[in-house]
Amino acid sequence: MDQSIKAYIKQLVQEAVEQSASSLNNLPPSTDRKQYIIANWKMNKNIQDTLEFLQQLKEGNGVEVVVCPPAPLLYPAKLYVQGQNKKIHIGAQNVHQEDKGAYTGETAASLLKDIGCSHCIIGHSERRQYAHEDDAIVNLKAKQALKRGLTPIICIGETLEQKQQNQTEKVLTKQILGAMDGIDVPQVVFAYEPVWAIGTGESATAEEAQRIHAYIRSVLDYLDEHNAEKVSILYGGSVNENNAQEFASMTDIDGVLVGGASLKVDSFQKIIAVFAKGA
């Protein structure tokens, strides 16, 4: 495509997003958005740790609690919560974009659904970095998850370098538009996870995160002005029991995706409690 046409389209998108941002500012926040607290265990824990954790973990009390263990632990985790009749969702950390076939080491969305998963994290920055997943793959994975009845939790976020170059909004816009191609806005959950905040102990400030979440919502509003208010947008990146309250008090922060602090049941439970209070 001609560069000048590309630049023109970019400018149109930018203007539309700015317009939605100013109109959204006048809208009262939606009160019916689901609040999510998600544990992303990454490549941690064994079967005994998992069952002990789930035994101690209490239900969300009005917030959706999703525990995402490593793939081999998904089924025992699901059987355990089901057996205990606990309202705790089990989610995967990744899914493959194809239905089935010769993809050694991958997991199909239909299998995740079959063993009782309800959610799936897609496009986490560690997968973007180590498995080279780009926005097109994220889009295919989200479509595949939806096709099989899993709710995609789509992760987006800028690197430190991009932040320092004032590229945050531009990067996020590209990630959102890429991920959402052909997908209905109300079907997904977003997680804003600035890459510089993940596992570093240096979270975004709640005000900074709120500003970015409002921006993300304005991009979703550009895609679907009737449903952007319904989408839950979670914050992730060094969330812990001490800073959760600040995030919970922000209008556009509808929960958190927790890595390190989700490994200890006490810390994770305290984070849930903070959000459950306001639910």
Query: Any idea which residues carry the catalytic annotation?
Result: 124, 193
Least spacing, CB of residue 239 vs ligand PGA, in Å: 5
- Using the minimum distance from each CB to ligand PGA, give the nearer residue, 38 or 223: 38
Residue 67 binds ligand PGA (CB under 6 A)? no
- Using the minimum distance from each CB to ligand PGA, give the nearer residue, 69 or 237: 237
User: How far, in Å, CA of 226 to CA of 27, rounded?
Assistant: 12
- For ligand PGA, the binding residue among 50, 173, 238, 267 (CB under 6 A) is 238
Tokens standing for residue 222? 């550009």
Residue 237 binds ligand PGA (CB under 6 A)? yes
Q: Report the relative pairing of strands 151-156 and 119-122 from DSSP bridges.
A: parallel
- For ligand PGA, the binding residue among 27, 199, 207, 242 (CB under 6 A) is 199
Residue 254 binds ligand PGA (CB under 6 A)? no
In three-state secondary structure terms, 130 is helix
Residue 239 binds ligand PGA (CB under 6 A)? yes
Piece of the chain touching ligand PGA by CB under 6 A; list 20-28, 89-97, 159-167, 233-241: 233-241
Nearest to 176 by CA among 161, 163, 188, 160: 188
Residue 40 binds ligand PGA (CB under 6 A)? yes
Count of C-beta atoms within a 10 Å radius of residue 93: 21
Least spacing, CB of residue 66 vs ligand PGA, in Å: 12
User: How far, in Å, CA of 174 to CA of 49, rounded?
Assistant: 39
User: How far, in Å, CA of 138 to CA of 94, rounded?
Assistant: 10
In three-state secondary structure terms, 40 is strand
Strands (E), the chain: 36-40, 64-68, 89-92, 119-122, 151-156, 189-192, 233-236, 255-258
Piece of the chain touching ligand PGA by CB under 6 A; list 16-24, 163-171, 217-225, 257-265: 257-265
Residue 260 binds ligand PGA (CB under 6 A)? yes
Give the residue closest to ligand PGA by C-beta.
259
The sign of the torsion formed by the CA atoms of 94, 143, 219, 250 equals negative
Q: Which residues bind ligand PGA (CB under 6 A)?
A: 40, 193, 198-199, 236-239, 257-261
